[in-house]
Amino acid sequence: MTNKLCSLNEAIAQFVHDGDTIYAAGFTHLIPFAAGHEIIRQGRRNLTLARATPDLIYDQMVAAGCARKIIFSYIGNPGVGSLRIVRTEIEAGRLEWEEYSHFSMISRLQAGAAGLPFMPMNPTAAGDLERVNPNYRRVTDPYTGREVVTVPPLTPDVAIVHVQRADVHGNAHIWGIIGEQKEAAFAAKTVILTAEEIVDEAVIRSDPNRTLIPDFVVDAVCHVPYCAHPSYTQGYYDRDNAFYLEWDKISESPEETQRWMEEWVYGVKDRTEYWQKLGEETHRRLHVRPRLSHPVNYGDY
């Protein structure tokens, strides 16, 4: 097993190229904002950004001019409303898009992750999305003769997956909402892992059922505490709902958006500086009290 530890700056420089398809994973939870900001700082262009819920991370990357196209199943600011920048760019005809439902989006990743040519799904009776997106097809089930809906595999060039803890080889423990973390890691050609904590291999081996990602699909391991803010890491810090509400105001105006980017993305060197800049009051507000699970006995065999 190789030690893949490197800085996030190095990982993005080495593995993310102009024109790549990126999947920054995380269903509300574990969204790797620090990686999105590093991609913006390094000035990547013409990216295809895929995520079930583009969330603020892709709103910011689109605002910074990184993206040519977006692949999604829900473009909202979760619990708040519209994802204003992505929406405006689509309405203005400046951003290409490819759209799915959540189940078809995750089915695409599942096909990519499992090395399958497509995934079948039962029909939903709502035909309009199938009509406007030619990636939806129908085939006949060879066993019953009934039709099933299919989608092709999604195999991103790079998946960025944030986790609670990993060893230096890339074996990763994840808990809480696990979303599409595992599928994204297996589907992608290259995987950048970011972790709240780098732990000894013995910690990973103490709880093997919690290892959703094995080292051999991982290319880079980056130690990035607070990587997910304003999203969250279960057990480490809370979701910054106040910022999600604030972004709704900031993103109304291109000037405000630009000012915010200057201050919080271009104006900081890395995530450590960003977290310090947020200040103690925010740190206190996002602090979370422990709630431990009951220990599991694997047995000493």
Partner 1 sequence: MNYTASELMTINAARLLRDGDRVFVGVGLPNLACNLAMRTHAPHLVMIYEAGVIGARPSRLPLSIGDPTLVSGACSVVGMYDIFSLYLQRGYVDVGFLGGAQIDQYGNINATVIGDYHRPKVRLPGSGGSMEIAAWANRCYIITPHQKRRFPARVDFRTSAGFLGGRAEREATGVRGKGPQAVVTNLGILEPDENGELILTALHPGATFEQAQENTGWPLRAAPRLLTTEPPTAEELRILREELDPQGIYLKGS
Which of 9, 69, 98, 129 binds partner 1 (CB under 8 A)? It is: 129
**Which segments of 37-189 are extended strands (E)?**
47-50, 67-72, 76-77, 81-82, 96-99, 119-121, 137-140, 147-151, 158-166, 172-173
Looking from the CA of 215 toward its CB, the CA atoms found within 13 Å total 15
21 interacts with partner 1 by CB under 8 A: no
With respect to partner 1, which residue has the nearer C-beta, 226 or 232?
232
Torsion region of 115: left, alpha or beta (phi above 0 gives left; psi -120 to 50 gives alpha): left
Instruction: Report the 10 Å Cβ neighbour count for 10.
Output: 13
Take residue 2 and report the two structure tokens written for it. 């190789």
Q: Count of residues binding partner 1 (CB under 8 A)? A: 56
Return the range that interacts with partner 1 (CB under 8 A); candidates 177-185, 201-209, 220-228, 271-279. 177-185
With respect to partner 1, which residue has the nearer C-beta, 101 or 251?
101
Whole-angstrom Cα distance, residue 40 to residue 68?
Answer: 14
152 interacts with partner 1 by CB under 8 A: no
148 interacts with partner 1 by CB under 8 A: no
Which of 8, 47, 48, 53 binds partner 1 (CB under 8 A)? It is: 53
Which residues in 246-275 contact partner 1 (CB under 8 A)?
Answer: none
Which of 21, 48, 60, 107 binds partner 1 (CB under 8 A)? It is: 107
Return the range that interacts with partner 1 (CB under 8 A); candidates 10-18, 118-126, 185-193, 198-206. 118-126
Which whole-number Å values give the CA distances from 261 to 42, 56, 113, 249, in the listed order?
13, 12, 34, 14
With respect to partner 1, which residue has the nearer C-beta, 99 or 157?
99
33 interacts with partner 1 by CB under 8 A: no
91 interacts with partner 1 by CB under 8 A: yes
Handedness of CA 81, 85, 88, 89 (dihedral sign): negative
For helices 271-278 and 33-41, angle between their N-to-C axes, nearest 10 degrees: 120
Binding site for partner 1 (CB under 8 A): 27-29, 52-53, 72-76, 78-80, 82-83, 87, 90-91, 93, 99-103, 106-107, 109-110, 121-129, 132, 146, 175-183, 232, 234, 238-239, 241, 244, 288, 291
